[in-house]
A and B are shown apart, each in its own frame.
Chain A
Amino acid sequence: MAAVDSFQNGVLQCEIEPNGFDFSNCTRNCALARMGAAPPRLNSTGTTIVAVTYKDGVVMGADSRATAGNIIADKHCEKVHYITDSIYACGAGTAADLDQVTKMLSSSLRLLELNTGRKARVITALRIAKQHLFNYMGYIGAYLLIGGVDPTGPYLYDVSANGVTMARPFAAQGSGSYAAITVLEKDFKIGMTEEEASNLVQVALHAGMHGDNASGNSLNLVVITPEKTIFRGPIVPDFCNKPEPIESDYKFKTGSTTVLKKKEIKFDIVESMDMH
């Protein structure tokens, strides 16, 4: 009974507590872990994301590999997230957090656009993201590169899970960022053309995808200009191709599997639906 009482007291205290965060679910999770329940594994996108500003726009790009531990969970995931028609965000960190944060951003900015009748600014997206992430003290594992063009010009911002933000001419994030940033530091110039910028982003992504185990498979680019937004991808770099195909055929002959039990079910087709 003593345990039950203290448990109830604990719950009561949490409810009465006037402010601050409630981490009692973490205690619950630890308790479950001690009882032998394995905690679920989070899908984290070990990633290379790169973005560069040029003369009148922004080029952003990302690889397409999502990993769970040392296993590739998704070879073709989309890491360039839509915010508004002229603002996009590349994400690194916890996949679920990135999805939710970018969804939240795009809906709040759309609402703002409808309320004001103007196109949303990149700095607005930045400020909303920053305040949201700072509130959660880094527990929302979202590292974003927010880029876009608004009536005041092209912008690129770097937002960290803690709520640190920086305006930058070029940026890279994720586990492949160390390799990618070396390329950017070497070849970035102020006032590049669109072609130069998108080439630079591609080369930086190649460096990340080549040197980083958690990045690879293919890359996606988005070029944001004052007039329009262009997507390019998936682009598969040479070194991401399988150098040789599988040699043998692994089809089993009919009857290879032992039949343990047979049961026949009679049915009429009343209605059918085409499923893809």
Chain B
Amino acid sequence: MSFYQFALIQMALKYDAKHDPLGAMRAFKTAFADVEENPDWRSRRLIERQRWNPYSMEGGSTCAVAGDNFVVVASDTRMTAGEINVINREVDKIHPLSDNIVLTTAGFHGDALQMRKLLETHLHKYRFDYRSNMTVDLCAELLARNLYYRRFFPYYTGAILAGIDEHGKGAVFSYDPIGCIERLPYSASGAAEPMLVPFLDCQVGHVTLSEGTERPKLTLERATALVRDAFRGCAEREITTGDSIHLVIAEAGKPIRHERRKLRED
């Protein structure tokens, strides 16, 4: 596409059909001429398809919910090749990094493992240097920096870091692949993220409830039950989520607990 054509297209985009139908028609004609000159299937697509791609996606979903003195992290255990073929039914996508920090990932499993190793190494070095465990806030910042360090060749993961902070409160940190970090009360990532997030918004965030309505307290029991139900629901409608739920529960002053539940296998 020449610069002139590009400028034409950019100009064309300004028109909207509702308020300026003639302008929209002109824009369409410009775009049509441009496609004839330079069709998608003749160059750009082919180049794109031939480009080296070092990433793969193994599907699956994960989420974390923070409570007053606990945090619940959950993930399914299916690993998928090319969205279609099941290649493993009992993969652990939740990685407890210390007594109070849990990492969970969706996306490219190779990068997830590399990321875990990186954080484990940093935590180990921190313990050696300072003779104390890293706090979850610090670890969260560390992960954000490590992700952004690879700004132009990112770890292709949707990571969530959860844990108990120095005040004994549950903490959930959510990331994008290049290190945008945010502390949230709950978060989800992976293939079923578009289904998990609205469910948690409704049941944990209570965004649909009117002002005066009574809100149930987020106990550990309620949080685990919600998370289990969320995955049961996702397994019904999302093809790369299934086989079993892996729950990791961190409570202030208690060791990390694991729980496993069956999900449908088809």
Q: A and B touching (C-beta < 8 Å)?
A: yes
Is the pair A28, B225 in contact by a Cβ cutoff of 8 Å? no
Q: Compute how far the CA of A145 lies from the CA of B191 in the bound complex, rounded to whole angstroms.
A: 32
Contact check, A30 vs B39: say whether CB atoms are below 8 A apart: yes
Interface check B80, CB cutoff 8 A: yes
With A67-B239, A72-B236, A213-B83 as known contacts, state yes or no: A239 contacts B264, CB within 8 Å. Answer: yes
Contact indicator A72/B29 (Cβ below 8 Å): no
Residues of chain B from 196 to 226 with CB closer than 8 A to chain A in the complex: 203, 208-214, 222, 225-226
A-B contacts, CB under 8 A, total: 130
- B261 interface residue per 8 A CB criterion: yes
> Is B62 in contact with chain A by the CB < 8 A criterion?
no
- Nearest residue in A to B224 (C-beta to C-beta)? A247
Chain A residues lying within 8 Å of B34, measured Cβ to Cβ, are 31, 34
Mark interface residues in A41-53 (1 if CB within 8 Å of B CB, else 0): 0000010000000
Contact with B along A37-78 (1 / 0, CB 8 A): 000000000100000000000000000010100111001000
Contact A247 B229 (CB under 8 A): yes
Residues of B near A178 (CB, < 8 A) are 85
- Which residue of B26, B29, B225 contacts A248 across the interface (Cβ within 8 Å)? B225
Q: A71-B238, A258-B211 are in contact. Are A239 and B266 (CB under 8 A)?
A: yes
Report the nearest B residue to A259, measured CB to CB.
B210
Contact of A246 among B13, B208, B232 (CB under 8 A): B232
How many angstroms between the C-alpha atoms of A72 and B40 in the bound complex? 30
Beta-carbon nearest neighbor of B8 in chain A: A3
Cβ contacts under 8 Å, A257 to chain B? 208-210
CB distance from B227 to the nearest CB of A (A): 10
A180 to B85, CA, bound (A): 13
Quick one: which of B9, B31, B86 contacts A213, CB cutoff 8 A?
Answer: B86
Q: Is A175 in contact with B263, judged by CB distance below 8 angstroms?
A: no
Contacting residue for B32 out of A28, A240, A243, CB 8 A: A28
B223-254, CB < 8 A from A:
225-226, 228-229, 232-233, 235-240, 242
* Residues on the B chain within 8 Å of A75, using CB: 236
Residues from chain B with a CB closer than 8 A to the CB of A248 are 222, 225-226, 229
**What separation, in Å, do the CA atoms of A217 and B236 have in the docked complex?**
9
A242 to B225, CA, bound (A): 16
A35 and B225 in contact, given A243-B262, A253-B213 (Cβ under 8 angstroms):
no
Measured as residues with beta carbon below 8 angstroms from the partner, the interface class of chain B is 35 or more
Please, what's the 1-or-0 string for A175-214, where 1 marks a CB less than 8 Å from any CB in chain B? 1001000000000000000000000000000000111111
* A253 proximity list for chain B (CB < 8 A): 213-214
B32→A246 contact, CB < 8 A: no
Q: Does A116 contact B (CB under 8 A)?
A: no
Docked-complex contact A215 and B261, CB < 8 angstroms: no
Q: Among B26, B83, B225, B263, which residue has its beta carbon within 8 angstroms of that of A243?
A: B263
Which DSSP category, helix, strand, loop or mixed, fits chain A's interface? loop
Residues of chain B contacted by A255 (CB below 8 angstroms): 210, 212-213
Q: In the bound complex, how far is the Cα of B209 from the Cα of A228, in angstroms?
A: 58
Q: Judging by beta carbons under 8 Å apart, are B225 and A256 in contact?
A: no
Whether the Cβ atoms of B31 and A239 lie closer than 8 Å is no
- How many Å lie between the Cα of A81 and that of B211 in the bound state? 53
Q: If the complex has contacts A7-B33, A70-B191, A248-B226, are A212 and B232 also in contact, measured as CB distance less than 8 A?
A: no
Q: Roughly how many angstroms separate A65 CA and B86 CA in the complex, as a whole number?
A: 16
Find out whether the CB atom of A30 lies under 8 angstroms from the CB atom of B40: yes
Q: Mark B77-101, 1 if CB is under 8 A from A, else 0.
A: 0001001111000000000000000
Most chain A beta-carbon neighbours within 10 Å: one of B84, B85, B237, B238: B84
- In the complex, whether B166 has a CB less than 8 A from a CB of chain A is no
Once A3-B29, A248-B225 are accepted as A-B contacts, the answer to whether A212 and B264 lie under 8 Å apart by CB is no
Instruction: Please name all residues of chain A whose beta carbon is closer than 8 Å to the beta carbon of B237 when the two chains form the complex.
Output: 71-72
Contacting pair A7 B239 (CB below 8 A): no
B213: which A residues are within 8 A, CB to CB?
A: 253, 255-256
Residues of A within 8 A of B239 (CB): 46, 65, 67, 70-72, 213-214
Q: How far is the CA of A210 from the CA of B27 in the complex (A)?
A: 49
Supply 8 A–B pairs (Cβ within 8 Å), ascending by A.
A30-B40, A75-B236, A175-B84, A216-B266, A217-B266, A240-B264, A248-B226, A256-B213
A residues contacting B by CB (< 8 A) are 3-4, 6-7, 10, 27-28, 30-36, 46, 65, 67, 70-72, 75, 175, 178, 209-217, 237, 239-244, 246-248, 250, 253, 255-259
Given known contacts A240-B265, A256-B209, A257-B209, what 7 new A-B pairs fall within 8 Å (CB)?
A10-B36, A31-B28, A32-B28, A242-B235, A242-B236, A243-B264, A247-B228
